[in-house]
Structure 1
Amino acid sequence: MKNEGTSRFYVPDVFPAVPDIEFTSTLIATARRLQSELDFGLHVGICASDDSFYGETPEWIEKLSRLGVINVEMESSAIFTVAYLRRCKAASICAVSGNLVTGEVIYETENKRLVEGWEKEIKVVLEAIYAYERQRQTQP
């Protein structure tokens, strides 16, 4: 869900910002394969890209939740837009740093779970890139 201004520089506001379906499928399959080994939760769905730090109001979070949006981050819609225009592959994986619906967030101290999540998602992404390239090489 585009809620940022960067992609407007490149395309009209109604232009969709979506990841590459083939790489996203590989990323999801890889995450599912590694989920028990790396011990992480896995959620797949629609994210909102907001371009402000901590600008979400309770009303905005409630609206996103009602729409079924499962994550708020800041980069993916602009990355998907630019990648599409440059004919590159792009997908998104996010470690969870808090729950904006329940208010369970960590701002004042080190978020150790987030750092651990980053380490796990890096492993998933590297494995997904390897799997994706291996699949491409075996296709006619």
Structure 2
Amino acid sequence: MSPLHVRAQTGDVAPFVLLPGDPSRAQYVADNFLDDVKTYNTYRSLLGFTGVYKGMPVSVQTTGMGCPSASIVAEELVQLGARVLVRIGTSGAVDPALQAGDLVIAQGAVPLDGTTRQYLEGRPYSAIPSWPVLRSLAAAAESSGERYHVGLIATEDAFYATNPENAREWHRYGVMAFEMEAAAIFLIAKMRGVHAGALVTVSNQIGDKEFIPQEILQRGVHRMVETALEGLLLLEGEV
């Protein structure tokens, strides 16, 4: 029987899965990076596709916005045989050194969300990616020759509740940017015995009045996807 939300069968999902929040971004990955693409899920607009990148089977699966949705999707992907989950998304920066379109590879995610708190029953926890995934993503970014950062991000729930001044206070503790899914994906991967990582593109500094031009963001997203896929190639046969 297929899971409730990712309505696929075992074998439909590749061992390596990219996780964008946005269904249009999943479609973009399928259309621009993968060959021999097959759609395995459309339920609730959680679009899921499996294809081939440079000979390696890869899936791209929409998570929706926020940890509650992402945790459901991650749990069900593991049930379907996924072994490596890599979040690809956008983020708001709190580190003034970050520029629009920059790539950030997560070394850890401060869990400011409610989903991980419920899983953990309130226990303190460090949400970190799997070392082989982090190492491979960083190696792929380095080989590209383009600007990137490796560091701490924060995962939050309430997009419009964020106070720019309070968010920037987290930079004192090493946080570079905020997003909404990574901590839950890292936790579930650790609990279920699979691997996870995350890389995000900076869309703006938190508190900016306007977002960056779409063409700058799209270039950053394209590079992020390419880096993630090249990182997965480095992992093939290792995990």
Q: What range is the shorter-chain TM-score in? A: 0.7 to 0.9
CA distance, structure 1, for counterparts of residue 118 and residue 197 of structure 2: 21
1:113 and 2:216 are equivalent in the alignment: yes
Task: Structure 1: state its 5+ residue gaps.
Answer: none
Match of 2:181 in 1: 75
Task: Structure 2: state its 5+ residue gaps.
Answer: 1-109
Match of 1:123 in 2: 226
1:46-125 correspondence runs (5 A): 46-100=152-206, 103=208, 105-106=210-211, 111-125=214-228
Shift in Å, 1:104: 6.2
Which protein is richer in strand relative to its size? Answer: 2
Shift in Å, 1:131: 0.7
1:44 and 2:150 are equivalent in the alignment: yes
3-state SS of paired residue (1:54): helix
Distance 1:5 1:33, change over 3 A: same
Match of 2:112 in 1: 3
What is the percent sequence identity of the aligned residues? 29
The number of residues matched between the two structures is 129
TM-score (norm 1): 0.82
Runs of 4+ aligned residues of structure 1 deviating over 3 Å after TM superposition are: none
Match of 1:132 in 2: 235
Which protein is richer in helix relative to its size? Answer: 1
1:26 and 2:139 are equivalent in the alignment: no
TM-score (norm 2): 0.50
